[in-house]
Amino acid sequence: MDDLLKQFLVEGHELVQQASEDLLALERSPGDADLIDSAFRSIHTLKGSVGLFDLGPMSEALHAAEDLLGALRDGSLQQTHPRIDALLASVSQSERWLEALERVGELPSDAVAVGAQLTRQLRAELAGATAQTGAAASAVDTAWVAAFMARQDVRTDSPVVAVRYRPDSQSYFNGDDPLAVVRGVPRLIALEVEAPPADPVNYDAFTCTLAFHLISDAPVDAVRAALRFVADQAEIVPVEPAAAQRPNAGARSLRVDAARIDQLVDLVDELVVAKNGLALVTGVAQAGAEMAEVVARLRETQASIDRIAGGLHRGVMAVRMTPLGPVMRRLPRLVREAAASLGKTVDLSIEGHEVEADKAIADGVFEPLLHILRNAVDHGVEASHARVRAGKPARATVVLRARQRADRVVIEVSDDGRGFDPTAIRAAAARKGLMSDEALSGLDDAQALELIFLPGFSTADGVSDLSGRGVGMDAVRAAVGRMGGQVSLSGAPGVGATVALSLPSTMVMSRIVLVRAGGERFGVAIDDLIETVQVAGDCIVPVRHGRAFVLRDRTIPLLDLADLLGLAGGEDAEGHRKVLIVGSRGEPIGVAVGSIDERLEVALRPLSGLLARAPGVLGTTMMGDGQVLMVLNLTELIG
């Protein structure tokens, strides 16, 4: 990618971000001249940069947005909701285009049509007219594609086609059978269909209220052909495969405070001095000095190299530390879109912009947070009338709060919605057949909450446009777990819910303990362990297919690490067994190992390439003797 484009992408995201923040703030304080000014400047600058590249549709849309903002600024037009919506739509679209540029280096194939529609809408607002509504206006809106793909967890290596088919309300009269149309679409890989709940009194069986979302991996022309008779009711969007890999793709560049680089430079200077110190020692040794003196001087040099190496490590870590603010600031607009699509009003307040975390953590936390926020808006926050009935303000409040706690970053999402209801959660789990009734009734409330993390769980009664099926808290837990973090839930029914993520603020230094299993050496993250115990062989009793032992009046299931890893050589059951107690889903579980050796602080490298998704492995580290050590994620291994 050429340098100019790279620079443009970095700036572009910031400008889009700034404009979007200003526009959202304008909604709260309409007509604020400073905000209009700031939004205008961002859009103006962005438009100028866009002009350097061959990005016609984007340039035209931004030009129209700039003109509209200009009219708001000089007072010739009043600020209205549709005008802010049109501006936000252009900002959102610009962001999607920037992402496409980052991924594939060009605008998507529908950019001309989408851009023209945006421009029309903005120009219509500028002319004081209301923009066309209905099908035309929704042509701009392709946000549903991403939401639908995420909901269905569609990951694909080849292009697919996403379709939103909303049959005309009169289509039954016109002789259409929407389900037969959908049946005719070749090579379906996902389908969602919904209809609003029936009103028992006024139900009209002949007014079509169906809506379909579907994905096909057939060529787009084949999908178009299948839908040719309902072309005016179906939006057909080709989706490039790279879309699924976006989180890792962009934003690998880092902006660093110059002072931090200066510190590193100072340390490197010191390192050079220390290195010269070594030459001095060599000279002294060659001159036939006493061994004791040589050793003393070596010690001195070693001490200073130690100090400098530590400083360098901290310095490099500090360079990678980035405030969470930019990531968190992308969320309000997305929450607003989510709430609007559900007809809810939600205020998102953000605290802790300044809290810093490793770049990889800051980037990696975006998707899980977005997911949790969408869940909060969709499942947590009640409809306005239900809120009023419950004596709450109609506008819901969601708080996103980041805090530094020792060497970890804690990010909480709290809403004032209906909270987690353990009874409803048990009932939903029973309905979905995730657990037997007896097992469910044996769970206390805290354990019932944990059911939310089971794959396939969702308490939603219906499938909404937003976070119905396919998106699970299991995915959130897995993503956070990969960064060495944990997810916890709290809250009271009726009052609200809090989802807290606890993440290491630096990804790189981890405390591990060395263990042996099946004759091999592994690392285990100390954060995973509750304690380590020694259990006498005769205290281990077989329980059905497994084994268990009693620890402080509690029966704890016992697994063998060698078995978990598929290694030969489960240790002998006679003597004492060394057991790691792991907290898995709130339940302690024992994992027997051959031996428990020393504790270390290591630089953990996440797995990459083919191994990136290997389950149960946190990463690797290089040992002092040059061997590579695998560090295990016990919770995932057991899961």
Q: What is the DSSP string of 153-180?
A: T---SS-EEEEEE---TTTTTTT--HHH
Candidates 431, 545, 552, 613; binder of another protein (CB under 8 A) is: 431
- Give the total of residues touching another protein (CB under 8 A): 31
Q: Least distance from C-beta 202 to another protein, angstroms?
A: 12
Which stretch, 15-23, 65-73, 196-204, 562-570, contacts another protein (CB under 8 A)? 196-204
Q: Least distance from C-beta 591 to another protein, angstroms?
A: 36
Secondary structure in 3-state letters for 438-478: HHHHCCCHHHHHHHHHCCCCCCCCCCCCCCCCCCCHHHHHH
Q: Which is nearer to another protein, 22 or 192 (CB)?
A: 192
Q: Least distance from C-beta 216 to another protein, angstroms?
A: 12
Q: Which two tokens stand for residue 413?
A: 């999402």
- CB neighbours of residue 436 within 10 Å: 11
- CB neighbours of residue 608 within 10 Å: 10
Candidates 67, 172, 285, 350; binder of another protein (CB under 8 A) is: 172
Candidates 104, 135, 195, 495; binder of another protein (CB under 8 A) is: 195
Q: Which is nearer to another protein, 44 or 432 (CB)?
A: 432
153 touching another protein, by CB under 8 A: no
Which stretch, 44-52, 99-107, 461-469, 591-599, contacts another protein (CB under 8 A)? 461-469
Q: Residues 161, 237: contact at Cβ < 8 Å?
A: yes
194 touching another protein, by CB under 8 A: yes
Which stretch, 80-88, 91-99, 182-190, 280-288, contacts another protein (CB under 8 A)? 182-190
Q: Least distance from C-beta 225 to another protein, angstroms?
A: 18
Candidates 25, 350, 463, 600; binder of another protein (CB under 8 A) is: 463
Distance (Å, whole) CA 316 – CA 256: 11
Which phi and psi (to 5°) does residue 393 adopt? -60, 145
Q: Least distance from C-beta 210 to another protein, angstroms?
A: 5
Q: Which is nearer to another protein, 52 or 195 (CB)?
A: 195
Distance (Å, whole) CA 628 – CA 610: 17
178 touching another protein, by CB under 8 A: yes
192 touching another protein, by CB under 8 A: yes
Q: Least distance from C-beta 214 to another protein, angstroms?
A: 9
Q: Residues 440, 430: contact at Cβ < 8 Å?
A: yes
User: Which residues have a Cβ under 8 Å from the Cβ of 199 and sit 6 or more positions away?
Assistant: none
Distance (Å, whole) CA 463 – CA 551: 44
206 touching another protein, by CB under 8 A: yes
Q: Least distance from C-beta 231 to another protein, angstroms?
A: 17
461 touching another protein, by CB under 8 A: yes
Task: Please report which helix (H) or strand (E) contains residue 531, including its range.
Answer: strand 529-535
Q: Least distance from C-beta 172 to another protein, angstroms?
A: 5
Binding mask 395-424 for another protein (x = CB under 8 A): ------------------------------
Nearest alpha carbon to residue 394 among 346, 348, 350, 464: 346
Nearest alpha carbon to residue 350 among 368, 325, 370, 369: 325
Strand order in the sheet with 160-165: 188-194, 211-216, 160-165, 234-239
What angle do helix axes 473-482 and 366-375 make, rounded to 10 degrees? 160
Q: Least distance from C-beta 462 to another protein, angstroms?
A: 6
Q: Least distance from C-beta 389 to another protein, angstroms?
A: 23
177 touching another protein, by CB under 8 A: yes
Q: Least distance from C-beta 431 to another protein, angstroms?
A: 8
Q: Residues 160, 154: contact at Cβ < 8 Å?
A: yes
Q: Give me the residue label for tokens 């606890």.
A: 502
Residues 465-494 that bind another protein (CB under 8 A): 469
191 touching another protein, by CB under 8 A: yes
193 touching another protein, by CB under 8 A: yes
Which stretch, 176-184, 356-364, 446-454, 489-497, contacts another protein (CB under 8 A)? 176-184
Which stretch, 28-36, 199-207, 253-261, 515-523, contacts another protein (CB under 8 A)? 199-207
Candidates 67, 141, 176, 474; binder of another protein (CB under 8 A) is: 176
Q: Residues 409, 483: contact at Cβ < 8 Å?
A: no
Nearest alpha carbon to residue 498 among 489, 507, 487: 489
Q: Which two tokens stand for residue 484?
A: 């060495």
179 touching another protein, by CB under 8 A: yes
Question: Which amino acid, one-letter code, is at 513?
Answer: V
3-state secondary structure of 412: strand
HSE on the CB side for 442, CA within 13 Å?
5
Q: Residues 539, 556: contact at Cβ < 8 Å?
A: no
- Angle at CA of residue 618, ends 612 and 624, nearest 5°: 110
Candidates 1, 129, 201, 205; binder of another protein (CB under 8 A) is: 205
Residues 207-226 that bind another protein (CB under 8 A): 208-210
Distance (Å, whole) CA 57 – CA 618: 44
615 touching another protein, by CB under 8 A: no
Q: Least distance from C-beta 213 to another protein, angstroms?
A: 11
Distance (Å, whole) CA 17 – CA 33: 19
Residues 82-111 that bind another protein (CB under 8 A): none
Residues that bind another protein (CB under 8 A): 167, 171-172, 176-180, 182-183, 188, 191-198, 200, 203, 205-206, 208-210, 431, 461-463, 469
